[in-house]
């Protein structure tokens, strides 16, 4: 059975690039374009891992992260933050809220994202 990855990202191009790369690696992809939908998808699909942007319409990524980690049914799902926010305070806040890792979009290629996912989902 393929591992399911939920991508919560409002940037259509980036979401599609990551989804295509993950699909070729054999992952099943679920997509959400905003925070509210991401929280619903996490609860309904119980993905093996979530890639989460912080700047989202509606509930931002910090709110999504907090809600997923507060829910008994979803709190164990590893979440990798994928954001252009790169301030130390933002990274620390995300990790404190329970993120497994924090990747700055500009610094990582889709292939490097795959490596991070494989490292977390051994």
**What is the domain partition of the chain in residue ranges?**
4-120
Residues sharing a CB contact under 8 Å with residue 107, sequence separation 6 or more, in sequence order:
none
Smallest CA-to-CA distance from 18 within 101, 91, 105, 79 is with 105
Asked whether 14 and 22 are in contact (CB, 8 A), the reply is no
Kindly indicate the confidence band of residue 106, based on its pLDDT and cuts at 50, 70 and 90: confident
Phi, psi dihedral angles at 107 (to 5 degrees): -100, -5
What DSSP element (H or E) covers 36? helix 35-45
Asked whether 106 and 82 are in contact (CB, 8 A), the reply is no
Asked whether 63 and 35 are in contact (CB, 8 A), the reply is yes
**C-alpha dihedral sign at 105, 120, 73, 70:** negative
Q: What is the mean pLDDT of residues 18-45?
A: 96
CATH architecture of 4-120: 3-Layer(aba) Sandwich (3.40)
pLDDT at 36 over 90: yes
User: What is the CB neighbour count within 10 angstroms for residue 30?
Assistant: 18
**Edge-to-edge order in the sheet of strand 101-104:** 28-32, 4-8, 49-52, 79-83, 101-104
Q: Two tokens at 17?
A: 């690039």
What's the pLDDT at 86?
A: 85
Asked whether 80 and 50 are in contact (CB, 8 A), the reply is yes
What's the pLDDT at 1?
A: 63
């Amino acid at each position: 059975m393929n591992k399911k990855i939920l991508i919560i990202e409002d940037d259509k191009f980036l979401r599609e690039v990551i989804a295509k790369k993950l699909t070729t690696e054999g992952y099943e992809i679920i997509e959400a374009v905003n925070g509210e939908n991401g929280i619903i998808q996490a609860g309904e699909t119980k993905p093996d891992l979530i890639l989460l942007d912080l700047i989202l319409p509606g509930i931002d990524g910090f709110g999504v992260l907090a809600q997923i980690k507060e829910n008994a049914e979803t709190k164990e799902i590893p979440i990798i933050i994928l954001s252009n926010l790169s301030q130390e305070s933002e990274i620390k806040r995300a990790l404190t809220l329970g993120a497994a890792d924090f990747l700055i979009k500009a610094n990582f290629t889709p292939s490097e994202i795959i490596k991070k996912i494989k490292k977390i989902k051994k």
